[in-house]
Amino acid sequence: MRIAIIYSFEKPSWVSCQTIVSNLKLSYQEIFHESELLFCDFHSNIDEDKILELAQKIFKYSADKIIFIDHLPHPIELLASMDKMYGTCHRPELIFHVFGNFTLNISSWLNLDNILKKHKVKFICASRKQQLLVRKFIKNATTVYECPFPVDTKVFFFDKNLRVKVRNELNIKTSEHVFLYTGRISYQKKVVDVVQAFANILKHFGTNARLCIAGEFDNLGVPFLNKEIKINRYFQHVESVLSCFDKVIRDKIVYLGNLNANELNEIYNASDTFISMSVHNDEDFGMSPIESLCTGTQAILTNWGGYSSFYVDEIPSCIDYVPVSINASSVDINKSILLANILKQCNSLLVFDEKRSMMSELYKSKFSIFAISEIIKSIVNVVSSNEFEGFSDLMSKIPLQISDQSLPFFSDGRNYNSFYKELYESYV
């Protein structure tokens, strides 16, 4: 079998996408022999001549399957170049690993419709809820599969000695419960809500706990509502919330900066509960929470998007979920349940090493590169009977929604429209 793997050799700006692409590449290397794989560089700065050159390379390779494992750029230009070359020749199957930006690129997917209809096509989504969302756009829903993004468990694992070492370095007491958020610190991640809820728990109950935050602040607002955040504004928002509390409480909320993978594994091991209230429109999966769970932490998460896929039947108490609701101009969390879940964790005994090791091994067994490679293999080997049937009637709404190019097609600029709610009800 000849497999062409398409991705950008340039690292994406978002660390989570860097990790996902790298781990997907390793998964395919786990499945196929090196002689069966052709890795192709397709990046955002590629020009027309290089696109044509890449298209010719793939065509001459006579690939049986062309697999896209990156989120950018959209494949429309590459596939358009290849379309002219194939003509009436036998065409390879196209497989797309779908990222959270799928809905942002709906117009590009629609313009690719006629080309896709000449190929057998599969879409692979990272979570059940994303699968439900994407299936709304596809006539033959059975061509949309679910497969989580893999975790490199050589990097993320539980080590009781590492836990003791890092907690000592951070002056964390043996009985102190450490909550942790890692990832981008921005509006839709609702880190302010986490900080405020945690500070209020400390203020009213005086529990023996601290909150650690690691990651980069960004100015990403809510693109679907044309809501932009000025540089440093979200940082200032966090500072403003903290200023309302006494110093003894502020000192229990620690910013660790931006950490590399090994440093993240250390702080995951030192922590007890990962917490994220993200309602980001791109939250198709969530690398930070699953990496943390692979080190044996517990978690408090929204049930939004991909986060809900981290529940496992073997240890249902490992994750406490916070409900989410879509309202006119916002996606909101249930703050009362968030407070209750934080307090519940604060009042619980810390998980002993044996149980934590068991939790870590369970998640690693389900989300490791090897485990995910087995799922990918089963999907890739499914024999597609027919060419792509096309996008659903829902796509016909798109041209109407984007008649005003200054506004996103999911809103009127202030409030979410019915189209957004029809799609993203799958994420609730």
User: Which pair of tokens denotes residue 370?
Assistant: 């090897």
Same-domain check for residues 111 and 211: no
Total domains in the chain come to: 2
Tell whether 190 is covered by a domain: yes
User: Phi, psi at residue 32, to the nearest 5°?
Assistant: -110, 150
- pTM for this model (two decimals): 0.96
Same-domain check for residues 191 and 104: no
Same-domain check for residues 288 and 356: yes
Cα gap 257→237, rounded to integer Å = 17
How far lies 418's CA from each of 127, 135, 367, 423, in Å? 23, 18, 35, 9
Same-domain check for residues 363 and 378: no
Domain boundary among 367, 384, 419: 367
Select from 14, 209, 214 the least CA-distant residue to 99: 14
Q: What is the pLDDT of residue 404?
A: 43
Same-domain check for residues 301 and 217: yes
Residues of the chain predicted below pLDDT 50:
400-407
- DSSP label at 244? T
CATH of the domain at 319: 3.40.50.2000
Same-domain check for residues 387 and 310: no
Cα gap 270→346, rounded to integer Å = 16
Q: What is the pLDDT of residue 401?
A: 47
Q: Which residues contact 213 (CB under 8 A, 6 or more apart)?
A: 180, 181, 182, 185, 191, 195, 253, 254, 255, 256
Tell whether 155 is covered by a domain: no
Tell whether 400 is covered by a domain: yes
**Residue 93: domain span:** 3-150+372-427
Same-domain check for residues 344 and 400: no
Q: Are 220 and 186 in contact (CB under 8 A)?
A: yes
Same-domain check for residues 18 and 95: yes
Tell whether 133 is covered by a domain: yes
User: Which pair of tokens denotes residue 148?
Assistant: 């989580």
Same-domain check for residues 107 and 243: no
Q: What is the pLDDT of residue 405?
A: 44
Q: What is the pLDDT of residue 106?
A: 86
Same-domain check for residues 120 and 199: no
Adjacent-strand bridge partners of 331: 326
Same-domain check for residues 358 and 387: no
Domain boundary among 319, 335, 367: 367
Tell whether 338 is covered by a domain: yes
Cα gap 41→412, rounded to integer Å = 38
Cα gap 73→212, rounded to integer Å = 34
Same-domain check for residues 171 and 33: no
